[in-house]
Amino acid sequence: MDLTKSPSAEEEENDTATENVMEEDEGLSLERLVKILNAAKDLQGLIESWDPCMVRSMQSQNTIAAGIQVYKALFTTMKKERQQLKITAFFTSSASEIILPPPTDVLDNH
């Protein structure tokens, strides 16, 4: 591929299609993790409500809770990262908007 040539329309179209696929395929986003955790919680509630055997009900609820522990930890980590990004973005945008007064010579005032 010649680096001095501009990309053809077909190449640009392929790049755009690749970007769209990446945006659609988020993987485990915070929103999807919330759905997973809520579904597990709902399942635990159904088991508790419908299963007359308390021992079996508790065992299944504990198994579900242990099974989704990985997703809970991932959710907590991703949520902290998202909150940190918001704080960082706030400080960077604020710092660029600060207008400093022009420097003055202290000796001129005497």
Q: Which residue has the higher pLDDT, 106 or 62?
A: 62
pLDDT at site 80: 87
Looking at the chain, the whole-number percentage of residues with pLDDT higher than 70 is 54
In a domain, 47, yes or no: yes
In a domain, 75, yes or no: yes
Give Cβ neighbours of residue 78 (< 8 Å, ≥ 6 apart): 28, 30, 33
Kindly report, residue by residue over 69-78, the tens digit of the pLDDT.
999 999 999 9
Q: How many CB atoms lie within 10 A of CB 68?
A: 20
In a domain, 22, yes or no: no
- Dist. CA 61–CA 106, nearest whole Å: 72
Domain count, the chain: 1
Q: Decide if pLDDT at 86 tops 80.
A: no
In a domain, 72, yes or no: yes
Q: Decide if pLDDT at 20 tops 50.
A: no
In a domain, 41, yes or no: yes
Query: Mean pLDDT of all residues in the chain?
Result: 76
Buried (b) or exposed (e) across 5-14, using 16+ Cβ within 10 A?
eeeeeeeeee
pLDDT at site 74: 94
Q: Which residue has the higher pLDDT, 12 or 27?
A: 27
pTM: 0.54
In a domain, 6, yes or no: no
In a domain, 11, yes or no: no
In a domain, 100, yes or no: no
Q: Decide if pLDDT at 63 tops 70.
A: yes
